[in-house]
């Protein structure tokens, strides 16, 4: 099935910058998703159009809020790859390939500069590529001095260190564009045999993010801690908790790709270092229904109440697409599995992100469904007052135990599920210590099977980590064995509460609707020791609504 983000505004209206030489009117562009009720969301929507160069009469709004916002860019890059990454090559040949990618980076920086961008983020592996061995990647590595020890401007001091050509080009780009620049490259660091961690070849090799200020100074580096089948690189002996301060938005944190699923460094950065903004280079292969790139990026922004600037590589044949600028209430994103071109995303972003909990997103008067949800949690029958009489509905227990329970593989994990049948219902399903609940209504029924699933255990494929998941998903077909398959289109509309008795406070709300469209819950939070997600008014069919809990201590 096609998997592409649906455009909300026409490129021609937005004056969208050309990314890789393709037409500006290329079929689909970045999607815009709003928290709907929030004034901040409306402000960001208007400013996004300004950031892309439209003349809509909203410029006064942007200028009024300039002191409260900054302009950011991320670039989804269709990187030029080595035809044979396993082959040995020379430094000169490696530089020739990397300079082709750096030429494209420079074009994007200059386009972004014309739009007033203050910080730009490029993806993981975007300069050198991937699938190298430890030996074959060596000619692609730059020497990396420690920014904590050495203050260095590679553009202005190009001869200070050998094998730093990539760093020099990136530094010069930051100066040309007058912006902070974040990029990812491979780096090397010699080590002595007396170092007990020193590899046999006498050097460390790191997957490294670098940050340059707008004057070209190397501000800091981050060496990836949670490697994802990257035999070419070493894990740093100590975790880098990398932050950098900017004059336009305060403190940013840095981590890379697979790091987003682990406590170190991602969660610790936000917990201990007062970070409100995250720059996130990634080379992410989408895996539905729970871990598409834009899905987890958005969930992280919502869960921690931060802004996430995420840049992915663009290789649809490998399932790699999905970049975005995400605030807790709003997202600007690109996901396209058909178009071979990359995309530059530019947005005006609040300096102080407003979290979903802070946004007063619940309605003033408690509606019927939320009142029923609270009654169910308290263990009381649901009651409503009609004129002078009070009617109590003992059917809150409904046919919870009448539905068939079945098992199906989702994301390589053995989920326990129950089918979601009928126009309304109250369901629950349990596994180990986790019980998941769903209270729902549907205005109309669709010719689709949905299921409520639970998993509480150690995930062991493509990484080992402990998760607790409650998920409402559209199945791939009408058979129970299709639940958990990767689909991107749906027509089923729901109003629902989804909740569970989670054993962790680290819970990521995953929310996708038809056409790889992001959505935002109406409400999230704890109630009677259960964490819940509430949503009504879906604009398109539901693909996935899930609460994805991480128990880091059980990894």
- The residues that are catalytic are 124, 224, 257
* Residue from 491, 396, 480 nearest 445 by CA: 491
Q: How far apart are CA 497 and CA 499, in angstroms?
A: 7
- Distance separating alpha carbons of residues 381 and 392, to the nearest angstrom: 6
Backbone angles phi, psi at 133, to 5 degrees: -95, 175
Can you tell me the distance from the alpha carbon of 362 to that of 352, in angstroms, rounded to the nearest whole number? 21
**Under DSSP, is residue 98 helix (H, G, I), strand (E, B) or coil?**
helix
Helix-helix angle 165-177:91-114, to 10 degrees:
10
State the residue for tokens 């790859």. 81
Query: How far apart (Å, rounded) are the C-alpha atoms in residues 341 and 78?
Result: 6
* 360-366-370 Cα angle (round to 5): 100
Q: What dihedral do alpha carbons 206, 253, 359, 537 form, nearest 10°?
A: -20
Instruction: Assign 30 to helix, strand or coil.
Output: coil
The order of strands in the sheet holding 331-334 is: 31-33, 331-334, 323-326, 307-312, 277-282, 250-254, 243-246
**Do 522 and 361 contact (CB within 8 A), yes or no?**
yes
Residue environment code for 325-341, b if the CB has 16+ CB neighbours within 10 A, otherwise e: bbbbbbbbbbbbbebeb
Look at strands 434-441 and 495-500 and give their pairing.
antiparallel
Contact residues for 475 (Cβ-Cβ < 8 A; gap 6+): 448, 449, 450, 451, 482, 483, 484, 485, 487
Cβ-based neighbour number of residue 9 at 10 Å: 17
DSSP 430-475: EETTEEEEEEEE-SS--S--EEEEEEEEEE-SSS-EEEEEEEEEE-
Distance CA 6, CA 347 (A): 18
Pairing of β 250-254 and β 243-246: antiparallel
Q: What is the DSSP string of 207-270?
A: EEEEEE-TTS-EEEEEE-SS-SS-TT-PPPSS----EEEETTTEEEEE--GGGGGSIIIIIHHH
Q: Which regions of 122-179 does DSSP assign to beta strands (E)?
A: 142-143
Distance CA 203, CA 182 (A): 24
């Amino acid at each position: 099935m096609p998997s592409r983000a649906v455009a909300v505004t026409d490129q021609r209206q937005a004056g969208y910058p050309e990314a890789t030489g393709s037409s500006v009117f290329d079929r689909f562009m970045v999607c815009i998703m709003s928290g709907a009720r929030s004034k901040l969301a409306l402000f960001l929507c208007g400013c996004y159009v300004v950031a892309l160069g439209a003349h809509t009469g909203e410029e006064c709004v942007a200028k009024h809020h300039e002191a409260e916002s900054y302009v950011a860019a991320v670039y989804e890059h269709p990187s030029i790859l080595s035809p044979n990454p396993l082959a040995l090559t020379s430094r000169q040949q490696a530089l020739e390939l990397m300079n082709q990618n750096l030429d494209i980076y420079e074009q994007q920086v200059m386009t972004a500069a014309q739009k007033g961008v203050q910080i730009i983020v490029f993806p993981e592996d975007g300069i050198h590529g991937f699938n190298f061995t430890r030996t074959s990647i060596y000619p692609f590595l730059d020497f990396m001095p420690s920014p904590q020890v050495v203050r260095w401007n590679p553009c202005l001091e190009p001869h200070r260190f050998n094998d730093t050509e990539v760093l020099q080009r990136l530094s010069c780009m930051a100066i040309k564009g007058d912006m902070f620049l974040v990029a990812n490259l491979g780096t090397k660091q010699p080590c002595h045999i007396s170092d007990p961690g020193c590899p046999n070849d006498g050097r460390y090799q790191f997957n490294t993010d670098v940050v340059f200020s707008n004057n070209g100074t190397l501000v800091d580096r981050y060496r990836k801690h949670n490697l994802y089948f990257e035999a070419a690189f070493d894990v740093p002996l100590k975790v880098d908790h990398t932050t950098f301060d900017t004059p336009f938005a305060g403190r940013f944190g840095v981590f890379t790709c697979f790091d987003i699923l682990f406590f170190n460094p991602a969660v610790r950065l936000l917990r201990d270092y007062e970070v409100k903004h995250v720059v996130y280079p990634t080379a992410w292969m989408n895996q539905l229904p729970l871990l598409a790139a834009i899905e987890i990026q958005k969930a992280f922004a919502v869960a921690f109440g931060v802004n996430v600037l995420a840049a992915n590589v663009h290789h649809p044949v490998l399932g790699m697409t999905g970049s975005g600028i995400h605030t807790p209430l709003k997202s600007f994103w690109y996901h396209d599995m058909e178009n071979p071109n990359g995309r530059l995303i530019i947005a005006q972003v609040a300096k102080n992100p407003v979290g979903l909990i802070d946004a007063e997103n619940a309605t003033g008067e408690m509606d019927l469904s939320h009142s029923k949800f609270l009654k169910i949690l308290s263990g009381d029958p649901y009651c409503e007052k009609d004129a002078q009489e009070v009617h109590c509905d003992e059917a809150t227990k409904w046919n919870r135990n009448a539905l068939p329970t079945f098992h199906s593989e989702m994301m390589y994990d053995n989920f326990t599920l129950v089918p979601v049948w009928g126009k309304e219902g109250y369901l629950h399903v349990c596994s180990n210590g986790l019980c998941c609940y769903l209270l729902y209504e549907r205005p109309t029924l669709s010719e689709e099977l949905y299921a409520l699933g639970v998993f509480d255990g150690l995930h062991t494929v493509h990484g080992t980590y402990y998760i607790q998941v409650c998920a409402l998903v559209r199945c791939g077909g009408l058979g129970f064995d299709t639940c958990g398959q990767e689909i991107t289109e749906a027509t089923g509309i729901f109003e629902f509460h989804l909740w569970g008795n989670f054993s962790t406070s680290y819970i990521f709300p995953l929310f996708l609707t038809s056409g790889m469209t992001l959505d935002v819950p109406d409400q999230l939070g704890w109630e009677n020791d259960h964490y819940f997600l509430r949503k009504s008014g879906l604009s398109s069919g539901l693909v996935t609504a899930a609460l994805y809990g991480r128990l880091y201590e059980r990894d």
